[in-house]
Amino acid sequence: MDKKILLQELAEGVARRRDIPKRDAENFLRAVFDVLGEYLQSDKIVKIRGLGTFKLVTVDSRESVDVNTGERIMIKEYTKVNFTPDPVLRDAVNKPFAQFETVVLYEGTKVEDMERMDLPDLKEFGVEIPGISPATPEVEETFQAGADETVAEAEGEDAAKRTGEDEFDIETASIEEADEDGSMLPREEHAPEETAGGTEAEGAAETAGASSPQPENVVTVGGQGEPALGEMAEEAVAESEEKETGDHAGVSRESADGEKKQDDSVLSGRGEKSTQNQPDCGVHVETQQIEVQKVEHQTVANQHIVQMLPDSGRRRVYLTPWMIFLMVLFVMALVVASYYVGYNHLLAPGDAAKKSDAAIRRESPEAKNAPDSKENGLAGDSLPPLKSLFPWVPVCDSVKPERADTARLEEEPRRKGRVYPQVENGAYEIVGTLESHRLRRGETLRGLALKYYGSKDFTVYIVAYNRIANPDLVPEGKVLKMPLLKLKSRE
């Protein structure tokens, strides 16, 4: 397995098979590959029975773009060696997977793209899920994958969570309310179960202010607990719905004891998940999916829940956009705050420098217009108009011009060093001088490239042709020769 076999080992095998000296076999093998190489070169194709066909394929030269610079480059023509294995060899190698066949996927088949199937399924059941976006599928999928485990584990986790949550103050925050609402349901459900029921019922009782471990009472406890929760007006309606949920669940529990467990876990699963503060859509989808699966093979008791779930589901969806909005607001505030903090702290030292920097930066966009205005008659010294236009610009005296130049030329990509691979590999070659241009104030090499060649990508040709040492700093008044470019012909 995955061993590296060399010619020597192959020769050993051949020698063993044909009972010849290993030396002869090795010579033979060398001859085989020599002949293969030679005839491939001359005939372009060599067929070897049992092994396959070697073929030389010529790949035409083509134009492409440099992925880093986005510049056009020429890929030269080259020859590539193609090997097509003989069917015998191909099948022999594929033996481990030979039993598989291509299968047609029909509509109902669920493969890895589960999420695409899930939405129509839900719509069949008339469940409205506002706010479901294509972004949720991942969440759905993971839930879907782990659905079985979560259902199974939900009870245990939920019990642990609930003990923690019982300590929560009800009035703390609306988010917590949401959590509690979620966990409240399973709490009611779990109570009759004698496993951890005692403590759970007590927990529920603490919030409600009354304690009774009897199943019927637990339903009422839930009822009492929720009004306590429902200090917010908007919650009141939702709570009544939940009371319903509790009642229904109670009914179902009495009617079918065996199925109760699954109901429990479904509900607790939901409760647990809603505590994650995630975009709840995914969670609902998941719950309802479980529901959907259950419906297929379960009785009246579960149908109760199917009816109620959309209710409570819809209620929580109302809450979600609000929470998302809050989160988005918070994140935006954070970004803005960090931006201002960073700006003030990092740029504050050297206030003057900052000022001039900012000034130059502000100037640079205008600088592009400068050449135009100059060409419109303001030839020569463009300083006075600039100064009058931008009074905050530091006075450009004998020292300043260079600096301003630098700032403007800063736009020049740094990557253009002494070597110009773009020029060598590019789609164009320099065949002569188009015309010469005296560099004026405010002009950039990029601007020139744009003006003469229609794209700033050609800057590098100007740099290369004029052997400019530092394209970021070109003295004013320098006479630049604009290269005459010709598209490289395909060989």
* Residues in touch with another protein (CB under 8 A): 1-7, 10, 13-14, 17-18, 20, 25, 27-29, 31-33, 35-37, 39-41, 43, 45-52, 54, 56, 78-81, 83, 85, 88-90, 92-97, 100-105, 111
The CB-of-268 to another protein minimum distance in angstroms stands at 36
Give whichever of 13 and 432 is closer to another protein, judged by the CB atom: 13
Give whichever of 90 and 415 is closer to another protein, judged by the CB atom: 90
Q: Please answer whether residues 245 and 306 qualify as being in contact, where contact means their C-beta atoms are separated by less than 8 angstroms.
A: no
Give whichever of 24 and 234 is closer to another protein, judged by the CB atom: 24
> Which residue reads 């994650």 in tokens?
276
Q: Please answer whether residues 283 and 313 qualify as being in contact, where contact means their C-beta atoms are separated by less than 8 angstroms.
A: no
The CB-of-88 to another protein minimum distance in angstroms stands at 8
Query: In which region does residue 219 sit, left (phi positive, over 0), alpha (psi from -120 to 50) or beta (all else)?
Result: alpha
Residue from 267, 263, 293 nearest 144 by CA: 293
Residue from 391, 403, 398, 397 nearest 353 by CA: 403
CA angle (457, 469, 382) in 5-degree steps: 75
Give whichever of 13 and 164 is closer to another protein, judged by the CB atom: 13
Tokens for 290? 């479980």
Give whichever of 95 and 297 is closer to another protein, judged by the CB atom: 95
Beta bridge partners of 240: none
Determine how β-strand 62-65 pairs with β-strand 72-75.
Answer: antiparallel
Give whichever of 8 and 255 is closer to another protein, judged by the CB atom: 8
Taking residue 64's Cβ as centre, other Cβ atoms within 10 Å add up to 13
CA angle (110, 116, 117) in 5-degree steps: 50
Give whichever of 19 and 435 is closer to another protein, judged by the CB atom: 19
The CB-of-108 to another protein minimum distance in angstroms stands at 12
Q: Please answer whether residues 188 and 242 qualify as being in contact, where contact means their C-beta atoms are separated by less than 8 angstroms.
A: no
The CB-of-77 to another protein minimum distance in angstroms stands at 10
Query: In which region does residue 417 sit, left (phi positive, over 0), alpha (psi from -120 to 50) or beta (all else)?
Result: beta
Give whichever of 116 and 362 is closer to another protein, judged by the CB atom: 116
Residue 185 and residue 177: Cα distance in Å, rounded?
Answer: 13
The CB-of-7 to another protein minimum distance in angstroms stands at 5
Q: Please answer whether residues 55 and 84 qualify as being in contact, where contact means their C-beta atoms are separated by less than 8 angstroms.
A: yes
The CB-of-76 to another protein minimum distance in angstroms stands at 10
Q: Which residues neighbour 86 within 8 Å (Cβ) at sequence distance 6 or greater?
A: 48, 49, 50, 51, 52, 53
Give whichever of 1 and 479 is closer to another protein, judged by the CB atom: 1
The CB-of-49 to another protein minimum distance in angstroms stands at 4
Residue from 268, 219, 275, 258 nearest 242 by CA: 219
Q: In Å, how far are 219, 443, 485 from 264, measured between CA atoms?
A: 14, 75, 77
The CB-of-87 to another protein minimum distance in angstroms stands at 12
The CB-of-30 to another protein minimum distance in angstroms stands at 9
Phi, psi of 79 (to 5 degrees): -110, 135
Give whichever of 2 and 435 is closer to another protein, judged by the CB atom: 2
The CB-of-118 to another protein minimum distance in angstroms stands at 17
The CB-of-287 to another protein minimum distance in angstroms stands at 29
Give whichever of 28 and 420 is closer to another protein, judged by the CB atom: 28
Q: Please answer whether residues 416 and 471 qualify as being in contact, where contact means their C-beta atoms are separated by less than 8 angstroms.
A: yes
Q: Please answer whether residues 465 and 481 qualify as being in contact, where contact means their C-beta atoms are separated by less than 8 angstroms.
A: yes
